[in-house]
Amino acid sequence: MKLLIDTQGGDKAPIAMLNAVQMAKKENNSLDFVLFGDKKDIEEVLGADAKNYEIVQTEDIITNEDEAALSIRKKDKASIVLASKYLVEHEDADAFISAGSTGALLAAAMLIVKRIDGFKRASIPTFLPGLKGPTLLLDSGANVDCEPEFIYEFAKLGSKYVEKLLGIQNPKVALVSNGAEAKKGNELTKKAHEILKNSELNFIGNIEANEILTTEADIIVQDGFVGNVILKELEGMSKVFVGNVKNFIMQDNKYFSSDEMKMLFMKDLMSLMGLTKYGGSPVLGVNKAIIKAHGNSDEKAFYLAIKNTVDFVNSGVIEYLKEN
């Protein structure tokens, strides 16, 4: 499997990405990596190991401050642009992973890699740790301004994704609103509710924000603005919760008999909450696998993104979307 790696995007680039690549290569030697970035920086980090990788030199860097679609055209020698073109031009290239600008990555996906026929928008899904198991959130930030039809497409993409990846047939879809009644919400939400209610999808109605982690739905949908606010709020909440639990446990002399038991409990708790399982999310709806890793990814998180990418490619989700 050939994976393209953006070594320039992300807060901890390029060291985190390159260390993660070496970890993944050591674990699975069948993986073939193409590294996009400054060749001098890459060789400095990898040392003698650099000779084992194909390196594509970049001349531009797209930052989070750059306007997404314009940057794809103006900075055509940036890693996101060059890797996306490589993905299209090389049949043996399986996926591209980047922790860089979400907007630029989505723009490159739409303008260079192109949408799957039948879809007007691509979407970035995120799995949330629900009581019944993982719940898929779409859109988690790719599409801030939406039409009601786009939210239906997010639900359709999510349904196919969950069917193929988790094996759930006819997955349940819910729409996040400020009330369970169909008449609740802004105009976008009310129109999206009407479309979903009359669609072929297994739509179970509106849910409120306090039901996001307890809902029976397999998929929850909203526009990317609301979705990203939900995601960031849950990330902040988890840090506060885990931080408070950790402080309590590490000071405890009553419930845990050793520091080893305390650390084991924290590891199991974080795993249960899904905080260490997913290192990245795919851009759904485009012709090849593009994975958005977290912007603050360290080497462990980017390594998880690589593992998630391998699973995503092997799942055949893109082929399934094209056929269905």
Per residue in 109-149, pLDDT (tens digit) is: 999 999 998 888 889 999 988 888 889 999 998 888 899 99
Tokens 């600008």, residue located: 101
Four-residue CA torsion sign, 224, 225, 226, 228 = positive
pLDDT tops 80 at residue 219: yes
CA distance 279 to 269: 17
Tokens 């290192």, residue located: 279
The continuous run of DSSP H or E covering 85 comes out as helix 79-89
Q: Please report which residue ranges of 94-178 form alpha helices under DSSP H.
A: 102-108, 148-166
CA distance 172 to 280: 23
What is the pLDDT, as a whole number, of residue 1? 95
Mean pLDDT across the stretch 79-97? 96
Mean pLDDT across the stretch 76-104? 95
- The model's pTM is 0.86
What is the pLDDT, as a whole number, of residue 272? 65
pLDDT confidence tier of residue 241, bands split at 50, 70 and 90: confident
